[in-house]
Structure 1
Amino acid sequence: MPLEVGLWRVDGDKPVKLTASGVPLEAQLEAMIEADPGILGTALLLIGRQVPTDFGKFIDLLAVDDEGALHVLELKRDRTPREVVAQLLDYGSWVRTLTHEQLLDIFATYRPGAVFEQDWTTTFGGDVPEELNSGHRLTVVAGDVDPATERIIAYLADFAVPVNVVFFRYFGDGERAYLARTWLIDEARTPPRTGGVSKGGSKETWNEQDWYVSFGEESGIRNWEDARRYGFVSAGGGEWFSRTLRKLPVGGRVFVCIPGRVGYVGVGTVIGEAQPFEQAVVTVDGEQVELASQVLEAGYTHQALSSGEDHREYVVPVDWTITRPRSDAVWMRGMFANQNSACKLRNRFTLEQLAQAFDLGD
């Protein structure tokens, strides 16, 4: 049984108990959670509302926490215990397969024009994890539930299924209204989040060698054929975009991916430190030349959007092992993708598929 919550208004020396009820409209409760997911008791970034699944159903609210774990929030509405719990478990079976890039697509649909990493920093501070969907948690949101639902949820929790019920009580007091929250199962005893995508999660061991690089082809700014021809990767347009690229170590092996479901197009070894485009040097026919002096398809410059921030394009020289044209990129469901310009690549499934596709002999 959940803890019962009471609320009293203090009039002088006399406490006056307020009468609790369910939230008048569950749609109103859904809107309240959307406006401030923090009322659930933990910091969450909402990434979708009424998210369509592959089997024709819609998740009420989908959020992510500061560790990259997903939270499926489902309002009870007027459904039987069997219906609400079965549907929540079905949603869990679907979200555990979502890749990093699919989650970014869901966010883009929910928040058109918003930048995921900016929303992340505003909500949590710090950088986005290398891999989203490190696990998931399932939550029924309700004003009350019947004994059958309580028994089912408690039974599943005993077998380490990360499921719980959060109750909201509504207290009216004249022109004011209050919400109180409690959980069916003490959150300290809730099972750990179940792991995410089985083909490779964020907890896999890194081999201390391989790096993922996102090479976003922006019209007039950056071009993959330039990078293939002159041996480099680049990123810029703000400190957020160039910071991770500038951390690539000399000797590291990079796997270059063009985002937007295009795919992986090259593998190579970093042979120099990052430099601003205007100062970058590459090797042409065995000689060191300034990249800016070469015939290029793109300009590698950005318009400064705020004073004081470094918007320059940074270039990292790479000795290519093998590259492919954009039209022959390698991509399949479950492969690793990330919005950072560069990060450690530890996803075993991705590495295995790329080793085969690029004939690396790993």
Structure 2
Amino acid sequence: MTEEIRLWRIDRTGMLMEIQRNKLSLEDRLEQWILNDITILSDNLLIIGEQVQTLGGPLDILCLDSNGDTVIVELKRGMTPREVTAQALDYASCIKDMTAENLDTIAKEFLTRKNGASKSLAEEFEQRFGIELPDDINQRQRIIIVGANIDDSTERIIHYLSENYDIPINALTFQYFKNDGDEYLGRVFLLDPEVIESKMGKTGTRKRTPYLKYDELVEIAKENKVLELYTRLWEGLRNIFSGTATNVSSLTFNVISENGRNIVMGLVPTDSDEDRGLKFYLYAKRLTDFIGISREDLIAALPVNKKDWCYTEANRGNEFWSGYEGYFSNMGEANRFIEKLLQSKQKIN
């Protein structure tokens, strides 16, 4: 049975008054609340579509998590019938076969309606999570069934699928309270969300390449004989930008701006060697906007071995996603680059 939430208000005298639970009458309200603020389900979700057409019918809400996995959110009024479990599994089977291009199309349509302007999935993902969109998105699918109540048979099915087959499926109930014109929502998960997320790596046959750890990148730089360059740039740049992160191949530097947290530059020891040097890529507009350096001065500060670069072909022509890539071949180039950025940042501070 769904766990019941009881809620009390403490008045000025210290007396307790229980707030009575009310029936959540409109599924449209619940859906709109979720669309307006997905954090009521999870802090780790980005909505990319609503009423998404699949071979199994229209899926209520489609999300991505920060790993690039898809999350199917299915909403139901009142008591959730046992059929909703089969329906949600059907949706997941349809979403499983969608390509990155399919999901990008869905996201663009949704984000255009939401924001009033065309925005790519990669842009929205990076703004939401502060990391680049993984190349291998939709490797796993997770299901969240949302309702005011969950019936016993649906609970049994979800427990069975999760505990016996490691299928990442969960149910979430919202309990609605109203008192003196104020409204309140309480949230209860059927299963521990962290346990469900841990199952994402157990199901299916496709394996996602894990993000490298900081010490692993150091070892790779050492093996590829670019450790001195890597260490100098890491130590010199991390105090200039807002933070660092890693992905499957790179150490990335990010900045916080009006567009959210965005990657501005990456060092790629995995694609470096003694002859060419340490590979880098950077987003020119993001860097010039943050540091206050001119494009001409930036180009002059870059290594000799550089060329124009864009995150993906689909983003070519979009200056927010364009910049340069190349190789730092010696310490002189690394020091000149760091010093020029420091000088520019000190001027604007």
TM-score, structure 1 as length reference:
0.57
Highest RCO, 1 vs 2 (Cα 8 Å, sep ≥ 6): 1
Which of 122, 140, 145 in structure 2 is aligned with 1:135?
140
1:91 counterpart residue number: 91
Task: Provide the residue aligned with 1:41 in structure 2.
Answer: 42
**Alpha-carbon displacement from aligned partner over 1:203-237 (angstroms, at most 9, x marks no partner):** 2899x9xxxxxxxxxxxxxxxxxxxxxxxxxxxxx
How far has the Cα of 1:245 moved from its partner? 10
**Aligned residues, how many?**
252
d(CA) in 2 for partners of 1:44, 1:65: 5
Q: Which has the higher strand share?
A: 2
Supply the distance in 2 between the matched residues of 1:39 and 1:151 (Cα, whole angstroms). Answer: 25
Contact 1:104 1:116 in 2 (8 A): yes
Q: Is the 8 A contact 1:153 1:163 kept in 2?
A: yes
In the alignment, is the contact (CA less than 8 A) between 1:130 and 1:202 conserved in 2? Answer: no
Change (3 A) 1:179 1:311: farther
The one-letter code sitting in structure 1 at the alignment partner of 2:158 is I
Identity between Structure 1 and Structure 2 (%)? 29
1:173 matches 2:175: no
Kindly state the Cα deviation for residue 341 of structure 1 after the two structures are TM-superposed. 7.2
Match runs of 1:153-232 below 5 Å? 153-159=158-164, 160-190=166-196, 192-194=198-200, 202-203=208-209
Distance in 2 (alpha carbons) for counterparts of 1:177 and 1:162: 32
Alpha-carbon RMSD: 4.3
Partner of residue 17, structure 2: 16
**Cα distance change of structure 1 residues 27 and 193 upon mapping to structure 2, 3 Å threshold:** farther
Pairing partner for 2:307 from 312, 315, 328? 315
- Residue 77 (str. 1) matches residue 69 (str. 2): no
Deviation string, structure 1 residues 147-195 (Cα, Å, up to 9, x no partner): 1111111111122111111000011012210111001122243363446
Bigger fraction of residues in helix: 2
Q: What displacement does 1:35 show?
A: 0.6
Letter in 1 for 2:156: R
CA drift at 1:80: 6.5
Distance 1:129 1:150 in 2: 33
Alpha-carbon offset, residue 77 of structure 1: 3.1
Which structure 1 segments of 5+ residues have no match?
209-239, 252-269, 277-300, 318-335, 343-362
Alignment check: 8 A CA contact 1:22 1:144 kept: no
User: Does the 8 Å contact 2:177/2:183 carry over to 1?
Assistant: yes
Query: Structure 2 CA distance, aligned partners of 1:248 and 1:272?
Result: 9
For the 8 Å contact 1:134–1:197, the answer to whether it is kept is no
| 1:274 to partner: Cα distance | 7.9
Instruction: Tell me the TM-score normalized by structure 2.
Output: 0.59
2: CA distance, partners of 1:4 / 1:275: 52
Structure 1 contact 68–131 (Cα < 8 Å) conserved: yes
State the match for 1:59 in structure 2.
59
